[in-house]
Amino acid sequence: MKILVIGDPHGKLPKRIPKKIDLILVTGDLGKVDLARKRFFENVKREKIGLPEIKDTSEFVKKTHMEIYNSSNKIVKRLIKFAPVYTILGNVGMYDSEVKKESKRFGVKLLLLVGSFKKFKKIKLIGNRFVNFNGIRIGGLEYFVDDFWVKEFSPKNRERIKESKRETAKAGKILKWFGKNKVDILLTHIPPYGVLDKVRNNFAPKHWQGKHAGSKVILEYIKKYQPKYVFCGHIHEGKGKKKIGKTTVINAGSEGNYSVIEIK
């Protein structure tokens, strides 16, 4: 079986999709997110120099949401022409329940991203569940913020540390479930800690540069359960392949990067 692993598209795909592919796995972040990314890093700089963050307005929320919505649908429409697609959301895009909350909070009508995928028969969101494809068990771990990351990169944000502890505990339970069910492939947005996860992006603040931004709970899962493959993205500059014991970890990169894996 031939699997095409596509790194975080962010609205872009390879100019040529390899032929005779049985399955496509996407590491999350389907949509373009230029507006939100610019605002995020702007607020990181403001926090460092003691300025208050720029608050989101209803107009800004709608613009960023539509940028993600339209570009995500464009990606899906193209990919399903080649093979079935299994993906996770990553940190770009929200589940419909979250979209509804944002709509209510800002008083704007936002289109439902996940709901829009239902018109496509060949795509599956596999966040926090595992599926069987031709005998291969694939577990999809939805994006979460590892509490280690918050302590390392934003230690003053006590509320975020508290929230990230809950998210990390939940991710740990899901990974344990995957391990007990002998998942062959883990599809995760975040890389494991210390593996293909070093920050070297020019967009990132200087005090982030050179630090590892992966997940320790994912690393622990790999060491204990040794799935055949782990496919990830998120840290785009970490693109590459490494081994952790018997497990092959591939950071598939972003915006047109991909890997082709053959599994017998």
Q: Domain limits of the chain?
A: 2-262
For range 219-240, the mean pLDDT: 97
User: Counting Cβ atoms within 10 Å, is residue 163 exposed (0-12), middle (13-18) or buried (19+)?
Assistant: middle
pLDDT given for residue 28 in this prediction: 96
Whether 174 contacts 215, CB under 8 Å: no
Q: Which CATH code, of 3.60.21.10, 3.40.640.10, 3.10.150.10, 3.40.50.2300, is assigned to 2-262? A: 3.60.21.10
Long-range contact set of residues 148-151: C-beta below 8 Å, sequence gap at least 24: 148/193, 148/215, 148/216, 149/213, 149/215
Mean pLDDT in the chain? Answer: 93
Whether 1 contacts 134, CB under 8 Å: yes
Pairing of strands 85-87, 23-26: parallel
Distance CA 79, CA 84 (A): 8
For range 95-123, the mean pLDDT: 95
Judged against a pLDDT cut of 80, whether residue 53 lies above it is answered with: yes
> Angle formed by the axes of helices 58-79 and 96-106, to 10°?
160
For range 245-258, the mean pLDDT: 95
pTM metric for this prediction: 0.92
158 or 5, which is more confident: 5
Q: What is the pLDDT of residues 60-85, one digit of tens each?
A: 999 999 999 999 999 999 999 999 99
- Which of these, 198, 195, 199, 194, lies nearest to 241 by C-alpha position? 195
Q: Is the dihedral of CA 221, 138, 173, 96 positive or negative?
A: positive
Q: What is the pLDDT of residues 162-203, one digit of tens each?
A: 889 999 999 999 999 999 999 999 999 999 999 999 998 877
pLDDT given for residue 228 in this prediction: 98
pLDDT given for residue 244 in this prediction: 98
DSSP 88: -
Helix-strand-coil split of the chain, %, nearest 5: 40, 20, 40
Judged against a pLDDT cut of 90, whether residue 143 lies above it is answered with: yes
